[in-house]
Amino acid sequence: MKSLITAVLVAGVALWTMVEAGATLGAGTDVALPEQGTPPEPLVIVVNRMNPVDDLSFADLRSIFLGSRSYWNNGKRITVVMREPGEQERRVILHDVCGMDEEQFKTHFLRGLYTGEILVSPKTLDTPVGVRKFIFNVPGAIGYLRESDVDPTVKVVRVDERLPWDKGYRLRVP
């Protein structure tokens, strides 16, 4: 009898443990699924519509966003437009293009401006609309937008000969 009771208790504890374990597993699955199901959105490099540039390499982008290159081939001065620090799009550019974090980026520009290696620091705008309008007004401006924020007032350029919707496009916002 005693052994029977013990067996039943053991079985009950085991069952409870299994149920608890199953519930925890189920909850973890629910959280993870949306992250796995939402594909990252392309981050589009945009310039003024009057700018003749159609294609930029990753190296070009890096030299432009880091201020090493100040002029376009047509002689227009390059003006880089960034989003506010902390924005996802800015993080992607800093990480994927510049290979820096926020602090390194700031330090790089402080040093460059101080030494005269860099002529102007990037312009910072609060919203995608602001970025778009800035680029529309300034012929030498270059910036980045989520694909959903792009409209005909700006021109989309290829990166390493790939358009944002092409397979293999590297710049994506989670």
Contact between 110 and other proteins per CB under 8 A: no
Query: Among 50, 61, 83, which residue's Cα sits nearest to residue 169?
Result: 61
Q: Is the CA virtual torsion 106, 57, 52, 172 positive or negative?
A: negative
Q: Among all chains, which residue has been given the structure tokens 């443990």? A: 17
Site string for other proteins, 121-150 (x = CB under 8 A): --xxxxx--x--xx--xxxxx---------
| Amino acid at position 138, single letter | V
Helix (H) or strand (E) holding 83: strand 79-83
Nearest distance from residue 150's CB to other proteins, in Å? 17
Using DSSP's 3-state secondary structure scheme, residue 34 falls into helix
Contact between 49 and other proteins per CB under 8 A: no
Closest CB to other proteins among 77 and 106? 77
Q: Choose which of 104, 120, 170, 174 interacts with other proteins (CB under 8 A).
A: 120
Using DSSP's 3-state secondary structure scheme, residue 94 falls into helix
Contact between 151 and other proteins per CB under 8 A: no
Site string for other proteins, 69-98 (x = CB under 8 A): --------x-x-x-----------------
Apex CA 168: angle with CA 79 and CA 173, to 5°?
55
* Residues at the interface with other proteins (CB under 8 A): 77, 79, 81, 120, 123-127, 130, 133-134, 137-141
